[in-house]
Each structure stands twice: as structure tokens, then as C-alpha cells.
């Protein structure tokens, strides 16, 4: 790697005063070295606290580790530095490569079993543990360690207790509660067979636009430090006590070192531009407390400090963290974080190891990373001493955890204990946390607590949606696309209110849109942010629902009806909600309360005697903005001017009336059309990712989805950051689709003139596949654009950015104000691709040339379909040869419906009725009008003079691209013109396109019917015969039976019998 090549080619000495003596250095090398020297000159390690770990390490443990390292091969040592994702590695591979650790990413579950129980998880853990300790073949058998994100409970495990996210816990100011939550979380994690969690987060979030703000306890470093110590003790147990890292506890991870919450503009994985003093006093606040609590691992941050990636910052990882602050656990990297270091990649980064990363998180590239790291050790790029030091740190933690005891996960004290998951005591603790985390911002007229025997309307987008109240890191990484049924044992806020209403004699009505029959006494409106995690939650403004005030409209509607309104606001950060607060009589900041919605209800409502069950005690741990532009608003700042200051929070004892807040302030969105993000790092609400085949469809809920036959799959994958892309694979299917939908029409009309649909796409395998992009607004304007030719040219070339002008999809009469599916990739055959960053942009030139949609049907072309490659041209050549023989009485021209007269469906019927007629069948499966035109122009009717030509074509123009009926008719007209020129003495019979679809409302049938109206006009203008025999295939009510067309498109024997009967009079008249 270049980092080491430079050190070998340019030898230098750095004195104590950073004087450099250089020999034979290039200008660039001198510049690099000067930068390094400057960095060393400005670093001041005395600013950092000297910390001593409280752990009294048993000398026997040190001896055990040293002896083990002495016996390990270099391959075994390197394996200990690698962490792989459970979907990308098998126990056998972990054994073969001596892998030291595995993890499950957000939404990743054992054996991809969505509802896997604790027993399933622990049994899965057994397989890796037993493989790792196998000592056959001279292996030392070092046990593997499994890490999981458990940032607010064991979030990936269905049914687990989900506590409020840290932003809510910070409002409780209750360290005893935090410790208890750590203890409960540890037990549920241990029940699943896992020994290590990637928690707690020690970020001091200083810019609320950051998508991980809710993972921070507070903007106040002192509060973060206080809560850090409590959570680490809760998770791990008291250092040097019998319960420390016992089977009731897990190893904790303090993350993300360092300044992840201090990046410029709140940019996730961005650059923390600040002085070293600020870095120490604000962002390092929690780490000394974590170390003195005995934390066993610390995770490096994706972010940079003054331009240097933390995963490559030796000064901070080694000199500061390990030496100055005395951390004696191991440092783990974040998801491919090493790959972001200059001169590194996901599968190669000696620089990170040398900087102080002990365990490299390489979810999918673990094998090549292992191989490259092994080579780097053998060539000296990573020294033996550094390798041994990293391995020693990892092994010592494993020893402290008791992993060398030989007890597999299911045999441990809590292993496979399903009863611990969502245990009653844990849910009661979570409800307490919810009650103490809620902050009352407004309570005019003392509307809260709600008195008994009232009629309560519960409404709002989040009222009965557990996923939305839980936020990110809940069942899946982003927490999106989930149903309440995926949270067994949990309670939505509505269900909690309903339960509490039973106790105080109130009646509860749930309405999604605020509709009611009988006017309620009060409305509880639950609304807020939709779930997100990490960078996918970064925002450009703190204005809630900027430019699209859906929730505000509901609040105003209720207020206009004279109904008192209580707003429960669900969010992962303080947001500018002045208009929403003004439209509410009471306003509660509920943060992300987790699985226990009953905790909200217990606080809002009285008991049957009209006395409050609990009072509000939550106090803001983050300052609340007065303006949407106040993203950096922190206690102690100069010119500190919040709407609600740090520490604010009303109780029922406070009789404070909040005056109307300013709404016309700088930074408010205009409401004009804006770019639309459909999938940027995740499906942005309200969009969902769906995969589909002709027989089934499946919503993507988590990291993967697969149709029941296993032929169509989608998985989240990495492009720029963790799981920010979708990999779509399909095989042995004539149709599959990956599309985005949310059930309501989208107005894309403003985008048609100058806008474009843009996305990043990587073509892995497309050769034996079709690929189309479809924008669907119903039968009138379903527009399909073939990407096959473009995709073939891009196969294997990595990620490409594609920007397609929306005018490419525009057809006459299309209504882009009512688009129900704005992005659908349709494919068939066998292939794989990945897609990311799907957006509609208002002003985008595009880098894709639009085909002439109006001319497609009349422009001769070969059938460019993967499934026709092996037979279409040979069949054409065969027909050309047959035509040259002449002596043809009847010409049949069309697509597969005509083609199948030669196959099992139609051949017996043909033999019965028309065997004596000399016929040339020019039906080709899959053909559209332009394909028939090409064939006519390339010799298929040369040398023949049939008495009758029967033409039926056009259903694939509808089925393949939902073509405008006029365009289809133009294509058929071109075919008729071509036939008349080449077969001057032949009588031509044009048939209406046959019906398709089960009933009269089928969109494809309706499009064919509209085309048939135009075809009749074509026949009249051309002076040819026209016949519409469609009613003979249908019932009296317009239904098409599978007894006639089993797939609602292609006739069977009975269907061909009907066609034969209707064709016979023409044959008798013109041939016999």
C-alpha cells in the first residue's frame, strides 16, 4: 500500500522538536511528511485526562493469553482481527479462516428467519461457537465473539423490549433507571446467545440536523458522562465484582470515538473541525467514565477530526485512547470504516491496524480482507508486534467473558431463554422510562391530564404504529416498512390510551384522518418523524414537514371544529414546530418511546377518580429551536436564544400559558414543488420497497425479502455507507419487479418539462435478462423504457449514475399528476443489479437519450429479448426459406397467439379444421408491431401470393410498454401498408386484438379495447376486412375464463376452437 511504500522510499527522522531530515523524497512525499509533522506539532496530549482502568487483571489471564498467542499461527492471529456479518459467512468458513468475531447488522437475523426466537438465535450462535473452538488439525480453537447493536434494547430480536432512545433517556435525568435498562438489555441479549453489544453511544450531539441525534443522551457533555457510567455498569456489571461480565451481563462498546456528534453541519460520517481542546472537553466527556466503568471495547467513529479519518488516526486511537487514557480493552472499527481511510479499501487497510484498530468490521469483504491483512503481516507492513498486541487485547476480553470455558451459548445461564424476551419486568421498566422521558412543552387551560369519562378521538400518522414510535434500530436497521404484528407484546400509543380509558371510564375512537361521527370531547394527535438511522436521518432544515404540512392541516381541522387538541410529537431530535404548537392546546415531546405506548397513556390520563397517575418529570436534554435554522443550539453558546431552553419541562403543577409563537420566520420552506427523494439510503416515508412476480409480491421489511419460490430477491447492500443500496436478483422468471409504492398518487407533472428521475445503478449480470424502467399512472399512461441496451454496455463497470428526463416517459394523454408507481424496475430471465439514491429532480438535464416513444411501434426492429435470442432469428430464417418455396394460400401473421397454432395449444385444432390449407404461419412469440415490420422487410413474404392474410398483432405493445392505443394503431397501419405493397393480390383480414385479463376492468384489456377502436378505423381507411370476435371468448358479464385462456392471454385448445369457428367463414369465402 502507498502508505508503507512512502515510508520505505522516503526515509526520515523526526526529532523531539519535529525537525525533519529527508533523503531522496519526491515533492509530494515532502508535502505529505510536512503535513504529518505539523499535525504532530499541534497535538497536545497533556490536554487529555489520565485515566486508569479499575480492572485488576488476573496474572493468570495474562499468562493464558501470552501462552495462547505463542501457539497461534500467523493465520490464526490475523483471523482474530476480522469481523464478518452473519449473512456473509458460514460456521465452516469461520473455522477455516479462524475468524475472531461475527456481527449481525440492523435487520439481519439468523437464517433470515424474520420471527426467529431467542432459541433460534442461540442455536445459531452455537454453530459458530462450536466451529470456532474445534481444535482438530492443530488449531488452537479460539472462541468466536458475536456483537450486535442493542442501542435501545435488543432491537433486532422480534418481541424484545424496546426502551426509549437515548434522547428520551437523557430527559429522565435518572441514572438508576439507565443502569437498570442496561441490566435488562444485557439479559435479553444473553438469552439470544450473544455476549457483546455495540452500545452505549457516547456522542454529544451538537447539531440537530445529524441523523443520529436521538442516539445521544444530550448536548451537555456532563450529562452524557454521567449516563455513560451508569449504562456501562448496567450492561457489564460492577468491575472486579463477581457479576462483572458474568452470564447475566455482556461486554459493552463505547462509541463512536471520537466527535461523531460534532461534525460540520451535522453531516453523518463528516468532519469535526475544531480545536483539540474542544474535542477533549466536549466530545471526549463520556470516555473516561466508560473506561473507569471497565468498558471492554470502544468503537472508532466513521467521522474525521480536522480532515483525518478516525479509523486511521494513530494519535487519537493509540497515543490518547490506549496510552494516555489507559483503555485496556480492544478497539473495533465500524461497518467498513477502515475502507474510508485514504489509500485503503473495504478489503485492505494496514493503516487502520497500525493506527490502533484491533478488530476490523468487514461485513461482506471479510475474506479478501483476511487475505490482504495476512499478506501485509508477512511483508512487514503490519509488524508482528502490532499484530500480537491487537490479538492480545481481543483474547483478554474473551477470557474475561468466560468464552474459553467451552460452554456453548444454549448451555449458558440465560441461553435460549425465550421467557426473558419482552419479560414483564422489562416492559414495566420500559414504561417507567417512557413516563419519565416525556417532556411537556405546553399545557394551556390545564387540558392535561385528561379527565375520566370523556370521548377521546385518537388520530395522527403515528397513533397506531409501533414502528414509528420506536424509531430506527427497531427490528430493522432503519425501522421502516414494519407492521405492528412484528412487535409482539408491544403496545402502540393508541392501544395504550384504549387500555387506560378502560380504567377511567372514557371512550376511545381511532381515526386515521381525524374523521368522526360523534364529536369527541378531546383529540389526541400522535404525529412526527418517520423512522431513520444514521446518515439516512440527516436533514437540511429543522422545520418539521417542510413544504408539506400534512400534520398541521389535521391539527387545524380539529381546532376549526372546536375540539381541544393534545399533540404527542414523536421525533428523534428537537424540531421547529411553532405552527403545530400553536394549533395545539397541549404539546408533548415524546421522542422515540419504544415498544411501550402504554407509558404515554399513563402520563396523559387520570384514573377513574380524576387524579393523575403520574406527573411529568422530563426535562429537555436538548435545547428546542426558535427558528428552523437553529441547528447548532447548545447550552453555554454565545447568543444562546432557544424557544425552550435546556432543562425546560412543565409539570401538572405549572400553570403557565404559552403565548402564540411566531410562524413567519426566516428559513421556512416556501411550499413550492421540490425534488422528491424516494430511496436515499433507505426508503423515505411513505415509500416502501416491494418485489413482485406474476404470482406473488413481498414488501421489503428489513435487510432482505424473497418471494416464496426463491426466484426473486432483494437485499440491502453497501454503496457509499452501510446498507444504502438495494441488490435485486432474479432467475428463471419471465417477469419480476422491484418497485417503490405507498398507495397514493404522486404528482410528477411539475417534473415533465425539465425534470428527471435519477438513480445510481450497478449492473452485475444482465446478459440473459430484460430490464425496463416503468412509471405507472394507470392504463392511460403506463410508460415503459427499455434499459437493456444501456445496461449491457455497463455490465461489470461498477456504479453508474443515470439521469433520465421524465419526458422520455411522456405519452399523449398521460396524466403525470396521478402517478401510483413512480419507479419500477421490471426484469425477466436471470440477472442481478443494485440500485441506490432514487430521486426525482425538478431541474436536471439528464444523461440518457430519450427514445421516440411515438415512433417505436412503426420503427422496424428485431425482437431484443433475452428469452428469444436462441430461436427468434433462426425461426425468421426458417420462414424466409419457406416463403421462397411459394405455393401459399393462407398467411397468418402475429405474435405468440398466432405462433401457438403450431404448438400443443392450437395444433390439434388446426389439423382438424385447416390441415388441407397451404399455410405460412408468421406468428412469433413476444412480437410487437415493429418486430413484425422488420420481418416483413427482411424476406418473410417474398415469393408468396396467398389468397388471404390474417393479421392479429398489438397485445404485446400493450403488455410490454402499455403503449398509447394510437401508437399501436399506427404500427398496425404500417404493417398493412407493407403487406399491400408486397402482396398486392392478397385479401387482408385484420382481427381486433384479443381480450386479456380476468375482467372488463383489467387495465391491459382496456388499453387493447381502445386500440381496437383505432384498428377498425385503420381497416376502413386501408380498404381491408376487419373482424372483432372478442365477445366469443367472454362471458355475458365480460369475464374471461381460465377454461379458455388459462393465463388470461393465451388461448388453450378450447380457445383455439373458438377462433377456428370464427375464421372458417373467411377461409371458405377466400380460399376454398
Domain boundaries, the chain: 2-42, 47-418, 438-604, 676-851, 866-1070
User: 937: helix, coil or strand?
Assistant: helix
Report whether the peptide linkage leading into residue 258 is cis, meaning its omega lies within 30 degrees of zero: yes
- Span 594-623, pLDDT tens digits: 999 999 999 999 999 999 999 999 999 999
Model confidence band, residue 798 (pLDDT cutoffs 50, 70, 90): very high
Q: Can you point out the beta strands (E) in 711-755?
A: 712-717, 725-741
pLDDT (0 to 100) of residue 911: 97
pLDDT-wise least confident of 133-142, 195-204, 484-493, 769-778 = 769-778
More confident residue, 547 or 781: 547
Query: Does residue 407 register a pLDDT over 50?
Result: yes
List the one residue out of 167, 125, 169, 163 whose CA is nearest residue 147. Answer: 125
Report whether the peptide linkage leading into residue 1071 is cis, meaning its omega lies within 30 degrees of zero: no
pLDDT (0 to 100) of residue 864: 84
Helix, strand, coil percent content, the chain, rounded in steps of 5: 35, 20, 45
Report the C-alpha gap between 508 and 485 in whole angstroms.
Answer: 21
| DSSP per-residue string spanning 978-1003 | HHHHH-TT-EEEEEPPPP-SSSTT-H
Q: Which three cell numbers stand for residue 204?
A: 454529544
DSSP designation for 561: T
User: What average pLDDT does the segment 117-137 reach?
Assistant: 98
pLDDT-wise least confident of 10-14, 255-259, 638-642 = 10-14
pLDDT (0 to 100) of residue 686: 72
User: What average pLDDT does the segment 963-968 reach?
Assistant: 93
919-923: strand order across its sheet: 919-923, 890-894, 948-952, 987-991, 1025-1027
Which residue is catalytic, options 183, 188, 334, 940? 334
Model confidence band, residue 706 (pLDDT cutoffs 50, 70, 90): confident
Query: Does residue 31 register a pLDDT over 60?
Result: no
User: Cβ atoms within 10 A of the Cβ of 674, count?
Assistant: 15
Identical fold, 438-604 and 866-1070: yes
Q: Which CATH class is domain 47-418?
A: alpha beta
pLDDT (0 to 100) of residue 9: 30
Distances, alpha carbon 505 to alpha carbons 235, 257, 502, 586, 777, in Å: 41, 51, 5, 22, 48
pLDDT (0 to 100) of residue 202: 99
Is 695 a known active-site residue?
A: no
Q: Which three cell numbers stand for residue 10?
A: 522516503
The full length of the chain comes to 1072
Contact residues for 242 (Cβ-Cβ < 8 A; gap 6+):
none
- Span 323-339, pLDDT tens digits: 999 999 999 999 999 99
- Span 715-762, pLDDT tens digits: 999 998 888 999 999 998 888 999 998 766 788 888 988 899 999 999
- Span 73-97, pLDDT tens digits: 999 999 999 999 999 999 999 999 9
Which residue is catalytic, options 276, 529, 534, 1002? 534
Query: Does residue 866 register a pLDDT over 90?
Result: no
Report the C-alpha gap between 685 and 678 in whole angstroms.
Answer: 8
pLDDT (0 to 100) of residue 56: 82
The answer to whether 713 and 730 have CB atoms below 8 angstroms apart is yes
pLDDT (0 to 100) of residue 10: 33
- Span 903-957, pLDDT tens digits: 999 999 999 999 999 999 999 999 999 999 999 999 999 999 999 999 999 999 9
pLDDT (0 to 100) of residue 5: 30
Is 334 a known active-site residue?
A: yes
The answer to whether 633 and 640 have CB atoms below 8 angstroms apart is yes
The answer to whether 195 and 405 have CB atoms below 8 angstroms apart is no
Query: Does residue 41 register a pLDDT over 50?
Result: no
pLDDT (0 to 100) of residue 2: 30
866-1070 CATH fold: Rossmann fold (3.40.50)
- Span 338-387, pLDDT tens digits: 999 999 999 999 999 999 999 999 999 999 999 999 999 999 999 999 99
Model confidence band, residue 23 (pLDDT cutoffs 50, 70, 90): very low
First to last CA, the chain: 83
Residue whose C-alpha cell reads 393523575 in the numeric block: 612
CA torsion sign, 644 to 648 to 652 to 655?
Answer: negative
Report the C-alpha gap between 1 and 344 in whole angstroms.
Answer: 8
What is this structure's pTM?
A: 0.76
Query: Does residue 633 register a pLDDT over 90?
Result: yes
pLDDT (0 to 100) of residue 15: 28
Percent share of the chain, pLDDT over 70:
95
Task: Kindly state which CATH superfamily the domain 676-851 is placed in.
Answer: Galactose-binding lectin (2.60.120.430)
Report the C-alpha gap between 1038 and 1019 in whole angstroms.
Answer: 25
- Span 979-1001, pLDDT tens digits: 999 999 999 999 999 999 999 98
User: What average pLDDT does the segment 474-491 reach?
Assistant: 93
Query: Does residue 14 register a pLDDT over 80?
Result: no
pLDDT (0 to 100) of residue 412: 98
Whether domain 438-604 has CATH 3.40.50.1700: the reply is yes
User: What average pLDDT does the segment 240-244 reach?
Assistant: 96
pLDDT (0 to 100) of residue 766: 93
How high does pLDDT run on average in the chain? 92
Amino acid at each position: 500500500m502507498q502508505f508503507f511504500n512512502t515510508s520505505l522510499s522516503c526515509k526520515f527522522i523526526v526529532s523531539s522538536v519535529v525537525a525533519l531530515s529527508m533523503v531522496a523524497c519526491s515533492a509530494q512525499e515532502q508535502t505529505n511528511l510536512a503535513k504529518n509533522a505539523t499535525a504532530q506539532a499541534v497535538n497536545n496530549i497533556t490536554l487529555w485526562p489520565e485515566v486508569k482502568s479499575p480492572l485488576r487483571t488476573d496474572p493468570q489471564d495474562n499468562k493464558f493469553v501470552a501462552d495462547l498467542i505463542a501457539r497461534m499461527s500467523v493465520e490464526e492471529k490475523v483471523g482474530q482481527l476480522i469481523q464478518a456479518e452473519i449473512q456473509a459467512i458460514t460456521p465452516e468458513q469461520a473455522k477455516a479462516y479462524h475468524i475472531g468475531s461475527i456481527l449481525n447488522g440492523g435487520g439481519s437475523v439468523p437464517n433470515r428467519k424474520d420471527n426467529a426466537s431467542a432459541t433460534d438465535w442461540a442455536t445459531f450462535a452455537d454453530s459458530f461457537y462450536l466451529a470456532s473452538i474445534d481444535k482438530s488439525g492443530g488449531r488452537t480453537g479460539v472462541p468466536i465473539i458475536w456483537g450486535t447493536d442493542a442501542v435501545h434494547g435488543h432491537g433486532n430480536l422480534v418481541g424484545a423490549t424496546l426502551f426509549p432512545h437515548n434522547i428520551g433517556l437523557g430527559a429522565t435525568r435518572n441514572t438508576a433507571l439507565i443502569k437498570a435498562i442496561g441490566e435488562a438489555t444485557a439479559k435479553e441479549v444473553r438469552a439470544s446467545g450473544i455476549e457483546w453489544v455495540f452500545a452505549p453511544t457516547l456522542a454529544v450531539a451538537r447539531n440537530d440536523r445529524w441523523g443520529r441525534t436521538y442516539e445521544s443522551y444530550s448536548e451537555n457533555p456532563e450529562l452524557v458522562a454521567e449516563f455513560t457510567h451508569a449504562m456501562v455498569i448496567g450492561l457489564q456489571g460492577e468491575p472486579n465484582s463477581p457479576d462483572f461480565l458474568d452470564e447475566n451481563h455482556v461486554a459493552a462498546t463505547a462509541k463512536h470515538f471520537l466527535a461523531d456528534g460534532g461534525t460540520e453541519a451535522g453531516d453523518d460520517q463528516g468532519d469535526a473541525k475544531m480545536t483539540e481542546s474542544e474535542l477533549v472537553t466536549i466530545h471526549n466527556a463520556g470516555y473516561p467514565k466508560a473506561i473507569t466503568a471497565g468498558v471492554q471495547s470502544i468503537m472508532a467513529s466513521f467521522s474525521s477530526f480536522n480532515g483525518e479519518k478516525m479509523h486511521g488516526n494513530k494519535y487519537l486511537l493509540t497515543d490518547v485512547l490506549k496510552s494516555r487514557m489507559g483503555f485496556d480493552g480492544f478497539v473495533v472499527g465500524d461497518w467498513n470504516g477502515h475502507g474510508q481511510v485514504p489509500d485503503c479499501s473495504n478489503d485492505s487497510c494496514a493503516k487502520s491496524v497500525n493506527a490502533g484498530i484491533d478488530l476490523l468490521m468487514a461485513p461482506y469483504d471479510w475474506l479478501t480482507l483476511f487475505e490482504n491483512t495476512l499478506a501485509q503481516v508477512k511483508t512487514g507492513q503490519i509488524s508482528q508486534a502490532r499484530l500480537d498486541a491487537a490479538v492480545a487485547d481481543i483474547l483478554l476480553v474473551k477470557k474475561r467473558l468466560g468464552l474459553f470455558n467451552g460452554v456453548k451459548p444454549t448451555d449458558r445461564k440465560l441461553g435460549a431463554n425465550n421467557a426473558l424476551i419482552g419479560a414483564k419486568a422489562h416492559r414495566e421498566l420500559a414504561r417507567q422510562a417512557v413516563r419519565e422521558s416525556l417532556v411537556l412543552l405546553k399545557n394551556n387551560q390545564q387540558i392535561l391530564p385528561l379527565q375520566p369519562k370523556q370521548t377521546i378521538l385518537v388520530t395522527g400518522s403515528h397513533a397506531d404504529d409501533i414502528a414509528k414510535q420506536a424509531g430506527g434500530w427497531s427490528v430493522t436497521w432503519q425501522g421502516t416498512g414494519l407492521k405492528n404484528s412484528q412487535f409482539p407484546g408491544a403496545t402502540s400509543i393508541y392501544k395504550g390510551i384504549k387500555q387506560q380509558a378502560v380504567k377511567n371510564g372514557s371512550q376511545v375512537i381511532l381515526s386515521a384522518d381525524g374523521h368522526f361521527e360523534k364529536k369527541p370531547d378531546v383529540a389526541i394527535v400522535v404525529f412526527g418523524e418517520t423512522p431513520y438511522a444514521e446518515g439516512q436521518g440527516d436533514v437540511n432544515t429543522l422545520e418539521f414537514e417542510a413544504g408539506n404540512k400534512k400534520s398541521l392541516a389535521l391539527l387545524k381541522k380539529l381546532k376549526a371544529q372546536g375540539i381541544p387538541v393534545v399533540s404527542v410529537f414523536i421525533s428523534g431530535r428537537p424540531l421547529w414546530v411553532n405552527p403545530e404548537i400553536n394549533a395545539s392546546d397541549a404539546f408533548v415531546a415524546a421522542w422515540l418511546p419504544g415498544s411501550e405506548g402504554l407509558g404515554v397513556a399513563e402520563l396523559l390520563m387520570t384514573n377513574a377518580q380524576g387524579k393523575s397517575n403520574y406527573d411529568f418529570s422530563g426535562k429537555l436534554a436538548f435545547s428546542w429551536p426558535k427558528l428552523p435554522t437553529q441547528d447548532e443550539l447548545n447550552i453555554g453558546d454565545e447568543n444562546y436564544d432557544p424557544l425552550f431552553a435546556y432543562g425546560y419541562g412543565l409539570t401538572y403543577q405549572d400553570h403557565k400559558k404559552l403565548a402564540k409563537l411566531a410562524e413567519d420566520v426566516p428559513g421556512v420552506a416556501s411550499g413550492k414543488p421540490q425534488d422528491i427523494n424516494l430511496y436515499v439510503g433507505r426508503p423515505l416515508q411513505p415509500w416502501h420497497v416491494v418485489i413482485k412476480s406474476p404470482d406473488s409480491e413481498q414488501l421489503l421489511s428489513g435487510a432482505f425479502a424473497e418471494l416464496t419460490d426463491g426466484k426473486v430477491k432483494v437485499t440491502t447492500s453497501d454503496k457509499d455507507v452501510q446498507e444504502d443500496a438495494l441488490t435485486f436478483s432474479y432467475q428463471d422468471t419471465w417477469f419480476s419487479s422491484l418497485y417503490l409504492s405507498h398507495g397514493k398518487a404522486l404528482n410528477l407533472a411539475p417534473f415533465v418539462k425539465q425534470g428527471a428521475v435519477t438513480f445510481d445503478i450497478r449492473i452485475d449480470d444482465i446478459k440473459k435478462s430484460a430490464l425496463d424502467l416503468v412509471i405507472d399512472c394507470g392504463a392511460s399512461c403506463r410508460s415503459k423504457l427499455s434499459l437493456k441496451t444501456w445496461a449491457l454496455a455497463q455490465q461489470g463497470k461498477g456504479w453508474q449514475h443515470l439521469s433520465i428526463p421524465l419526458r422520455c416517459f411522456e405519452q399523449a394523454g398521460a396524466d403525470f399528476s396521478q402517478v401510483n408507481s413512480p419507479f419500477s424496475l421490471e426484469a425477466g430471465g436471470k440477472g442481478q443489479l443494485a440500485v441506490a439514491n432514487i430521486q426525482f429532480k425538478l431541474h436536471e438535464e439528464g444523461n440518457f437519450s430519450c427514445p421516440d416513444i411515438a415512433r417505436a411501434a412503426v420503427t422496424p426492429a428485431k425482437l431484443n429479448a433475452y428469452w428469444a435470442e436462441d430461436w427468434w432469428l433462426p425461426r425468421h430464417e426458417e420462414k424466409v426459406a419457406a416463403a421462397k418455396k411459394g405455393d401459399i394460400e393462407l398467411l397468418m401473421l402475429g405474435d405468440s397467439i398466432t405462433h401457438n397454432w403450431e404448438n400443443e395449444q392450437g395444433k390439434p385444432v388446426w389439423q382438424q379444421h385447416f390441415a388441407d390449407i397451404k399455410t405460412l404461419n408468421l406468428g412469433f412469440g413476444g412480437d410487437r408491431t415493429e418486430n413484425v415490420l422488420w420481418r416483413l422487410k427482411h424476406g418473410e413474404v417474398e415469393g408468396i401470393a396467398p389468397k388471404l392474410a390474417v393479421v392479429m398483432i398489438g397485445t404485446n405493445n400493450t403488455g410490454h410498454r402499455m403503449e398509447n392505443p394510437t401508437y399501436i394503431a399506427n404500427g398496425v397501419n404500417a404493417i398493412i401498408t407493407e403487406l399491400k405493397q408486397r402482396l398486392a393480390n392478397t385479401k387482408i383480414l385484420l382481427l381486433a386484438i384479443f381480450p386479456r385479463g380476468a375482467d372488463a376492468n383489467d387495465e391491459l384489456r382496456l388499453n387493447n379495447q381502445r386500440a381496437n377502436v383505432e384498428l377498425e378505423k385503420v381497416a376502413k381507411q386501408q380498404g381491408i376486412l376487419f373482424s372483432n370476435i372478442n365477445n366469443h371468448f367472454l362471458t355475458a358479464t365480460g369475464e374471461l375464463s381460465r377454461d379458455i385462456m388459462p393465463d388470461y392471454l393465451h388461448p388453450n385448445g378450447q380457445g383455439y376452437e373458438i377462433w377456428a369457428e370464427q375464421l372458417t367463414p373467411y377461409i371458405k369465402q377466400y380460399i376454398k
